[in-house]
Amino acid sequence: MKISFHGAVGCVTGSCHLVETSTCNFLIDCGMFQGSKVLKERNYGEFQFDPKKIDFMLLTHAHIDHSGLIPKLVKKGFHGPVYATNPTVDLSGFLLPDSARIQESEVELKNRRNERKGLEPLLPIYDEKDAEKALSLFKGVPLNKTIDINNLRIIFRNAGHIFGSAFIEIQITENGKTTKIVFSGDIGAIGHPIVMDPEHFSETDYLLIESTYGDRIRPPEQNEDRLKELSAVVNSALKKGGNLIIPAFALERSQDLMHDLSILIERGSIPETEIIIDSPLAIEATTVYAKYPDYLDDDAKKLLDKQGTLFDNKRFKFTKGAEDSKELNNQTGKIILSASGMCDAGRIKHHLKHNLWRKESTILLVGYQAEGTLGRMLLDGVDRVRIFGNEVVVAAQISQMQGYSGHADQNGLLDWLKSVKKVSGKVFIVHGEDNARQELAKKITEKYHFSCEIPAMDSSFDLLTGKTISMGIPTAISPAIPPEVTPAISLPTKAAAKVQFKPPTTFGKDSYNLFAEFSLMLAEQMRKIPEETKRAKLVSKLIEQLKSFN
């Protein structure tokens, strides 16, 4: 009996874990890698296992970084059932076809560029037909009820992360010995809007625990504090006369914000203005919430009872198509919610292109921003970015709210473990960047004295002997840049402080990010040098360095 880690180790995306027993092989999650280009390239490679030999799959929740490669798995030969909670099944019915459409659209755009460059055309990872075929395999299961699958006993329990999310308890009996494994999926914060707080478990042999915020502690999340902060951001942004642009994941974060904006509207706490939901997927996802009231927290149930729906408000305007979205480009004084939450895909990139350069605009980041994403760059304070190949100055105010995180912070994760009396084997720290995993492992060991393991990508562990079978690959898959080939350019102190070349050490900032930063720095430096001879000298030096590099 062994477990292998094929995603979300050393990074927060691509969740995928394979368990092999004497009677069956199954996956927990099969997610898409998101973030830097190097990391996303893993989506195009072959699986490190044979999909035809997987008997079934367990899905913790509908987020694409946990579910996004299921259609590829089916395309490669998997044909077993995919078990998930009923809301997750319904939400996946919107998310997976949308993921396919995004891929097809992005590949079409890249192929037009590649054709001009004389490069070979690309193929999408999967298409809508693959997504629909995958969805036909989904089977809904209730929360807190033991189900028997291939002689395994399995329970889905509320994880409090997004609507329908679950952590999963699995009991496997082999050679007369029963082994219990708990997969945390993503654990939500206490007091998060709409969803109920996470449930708990008491003991296990092995635990896989997420560590997205394993090295960070946020202020305790209180509903009124969050509403007060959101009200202040909205009022400040609209007072400037510009747009408030909120990059928000179509699933969960968009609904959280609509929920809170509805409350602020009812109280009269924010000015009269249109709130535009420019995300077809978010609009579709909202229909699922009213279908499963048992999954709602008390505040959301009261709102549902009062309004008949969670998200019906005359101030909300839902875009119907791309033309509606384009009409927003030259408008001001609006609140615009659009996906994706990390600003790396979808309509939000267009809204940023048309608003980042405006001093009167405000960009509110409300979710986790992975290394290598446009959202992370904005959060880190860059003064210029590239969007659709165009240089855009960052003049808008960049704000952040942490009260909407769907992930428990370090204290939240430690509190979730308070009810656990025993972990007889190991705690595997997954779904986090390495610094977060290391810090959380240290805290768990100190506080609870559980044995912790930080697995590497594609490593395997024997659950019967308690030993590592395969070490896998280290997380630093992006080669570091040797000092001798780092561009030797003397930049002004201000520019150097804004953007620094940092060799990638994990699944985060990669050569593509560094090249984009370098391009922006070079363009800025060229603008600052008035004399043609000096500009030519600078470029000539770079050309010589490139020629000498082998």
pLDDT in tens, 7-50: 999 999 999 999 999 999 999 999 999 877 788 889 999 999 99
Asked if residues 501 and 368 have their Cβ atoms less than 8 Å apart, the reply is no
> Is the per-residue pLDDT at 486 higher than 60?
no
Region 345-373: mean pLDDT is: 91
The predicted structure's pLDDT at residue 510: 67
101 plus 57 within the same structural domain: yes
- Residue whose token pair is 């755009």: 109
Region 297-324: mean pLDDT is: 83
Asked if residues 361 and 242 have their Cβ atoms less than 8 Å apart, the reply is yes
- pLDDT band for position 547 (50/70/90)? confident
Asked if residues 206 and 182 have their Cβ atoms less than 8 Å apart, the reply is yes
Mean model confidence pLDDT for the chain: 88
CA distance 160 to 406: 8
Torsion angle of the four alpha carbons 346, 347, 349, 352, in this order, in degrees rounded to the nearest 10: -150
CA distance 245 to 348: 8
The predicted structure's pLDDT at residue 491: 26
DSSP category for residue 247: E
Region 115-120: mean pLDDT is: 86
Q: What is the rounded end-to-end Cα distance, in angstroms, of the chain?
A: 46
b/e sequence 480-489, b meaning 16+ C-beta within 10 Å: eeeeeeeeeb
Distances (CA, A) of 150 to 15, 21, 58, 68, 114: 23, 11, 12, 25, 47
CA distance 280 to 250: 8
CA distance 423 to 204: 5
> Is the per-residue pLDDT at 513 higher than 80?
no
The predicted structure's pLDDT at residue 66: 98
The predicted structure's pLDDT at residue 477: 32
Residue 302 is encoded by which pair of tokens? 């009261």
The predicted structure's pLDDT at residue 488: 27
User: 18 has which bridge partners?
Assistant: 4, 27
- pLDDT band for position 497 (50/70/90)? very low
The string of pLDDT tens digits covering residues 377-389 is 999 999 999 898 7
Q: What is the DSSP string of 403-418?
A: TT-SS-BHHHHHHHTT
The predicted structure's pLDDT at residue 122: 86
301 plus 317 within the same structural domain: yes
CA distance 129 to 65: 20
CA-nearest of 176, 213, 549 to 406 is 213
CA distance 295 to 198: 11
**Helix ranges (DSSP H) in 295-347:** 298-307, 322-326
244 plus 382 within the same structural domain: yes
Angle formed at CA 221 by CA 220 and CA 222, multiple of 5 degrees: 110
To which H or E segment does residue 470 belong? strand 467-470
The string of pLDDT tens digits covering residues 158-212 is 999 999 999 999 999 998 899 999 999 999 999 888 999 999 999 999 999 999 9
12 plus 103 within the same structural domain: yes
- pLDDT band for position 330 (50/70/90)? confident
* Strand pairing class (82-85; 138-141): parallel
The predicted structure's pLDDT at residue 264: 94
Q: What is the DSSP string of 97-161?
A: HHHHHHHHHHHHHHHHHHHHHTPPPP--S--HHHHHHHHTTEEEE-TT--EEETTEEEEEEE-SS
CATH number of the domain bearing residue 259: 3.40.50.10890
> Is the per-residue pLDDT at 344 higher than 60?
yes
Please check whether residue 476 lies inside any domain of the structure: no
- Considering 360, 380, 400, which residue would you say is the last residue of a domain? 400
Percent of the chain with pLDDT over 70: 92
CATH number of the domain bearing residue 65: 3.60.15.10
Region 55-77: mean pLDDT is: 97
> Is the per-residue pLDDT at 481 higher than 80?
no
78 plus 121 within the same structural domain: yes
53 plus 28 within the same structural domain: yes
- pLDDT band for position 508 (50/70/90)? low
Longest dimension (CA), the chain: 81
- Residue whose token pair is 């929740």: 61
Torsions phi, psi of 178, nearest 5?
-100, 125
Please check whether residue 323 lies inside any domain of the structure: yes
131 plus 31 within the same structural domain: yes
The predicted structure's pLDDT at residue 479: 28
To which H or E segment does residue 183 belong? strand 177-183
262 plus 147 within the same structural domain: no
User: 397 has which bridge partners?
Assistant: 362
415 plus 533 within the same structural domain: no
241 plus 300 within the same structural domain: yes
The predicted structure's pLDDT at residue 487: 28
- Considering 400, 430, 461, which residue would you say is the last residue of a domain? 400
The predicted structure's pLDDT at residue 230: 96
Please check whether residue 535 lies inside any domain of the structure: yes
Residue 341 is encoded by which pair of tokens? 């939450």
Percent of the chain with pLDDT over 90: 61
* Strand pairing class (25-30; 56-58): parallel
The predicted structure's pLDDT at residue 398: 96
Please check whether residue 478 lies inside any domain of the structure: no
Asked if residues 32 and 64 have their Cβ atoms less than 8 Å apart, the reply is yes
**530 φψ region: left (φ > 0), alpha (ψ -120 to 50), beta (else):** alpha
The string of pLDDT tens digits covering residues 439-480 is 999 999 999 999 999 999 999 999 988 888 988 765 433 322
Enclosing domain of residue 125: 2-217+405-470
The predicted structure's pLDDT at residue 512: 65
CA distance 527 to 521: 10
> Is the per-residue pLDDT at 506 higher than 50?
no
Residue 521 is encoded by which pair of tokens? 């720095």
CA distance 447 to 116: 58
**Helix ranges (DSSP H) in 390-483:** 410-416, 434-448
Please check whether residue 207 lies inside any domain of the structure: yes
Please check whether residue 199 lies inside any domain of the structure: yes
CA atoms within 13 A on the CB side of 19: 25
Distances (CA, A) of 134 to 42, 63, 72: 20, 15, 9
359 plus 436 within the same structural domain: no
CA-nearest of 283, 287, 290 to 308 is 290
DSSP category for residue 278: -
The predicted structure's pLDDT at residue 309: 72
Asked if residues 436 and 215 have their Cβ atoms less than 8 Å apart, the reply is yes
| Domains contained in the chain, number | 3
The predicted structure's pLDDT at residue 421: 96
13 plus 155 within the same structural domain: yes
Q: Specify the length of the chain in residues.
A: 550
- Considering 374, 400, 426, which residue would you say is the last residue of a domain? 400
Angle formed at CA 470 by CA 469 and CA 474, multiple of 5 degrees: 145
CA-nearest of 208, 184, 252 to 408 is 184
Please check whether residue 386 lies inside any domain of the structure: yes
Q: What is the pTM of this model?
A: 0.82
The string of pLDDT tens digits covering residues 208-263 is 999 999 999 988 768 899 999 999 999 999 999 999 999 998 888 899 999 899 88
Please check whether residue 168 lies inside any domain of the structure: yes
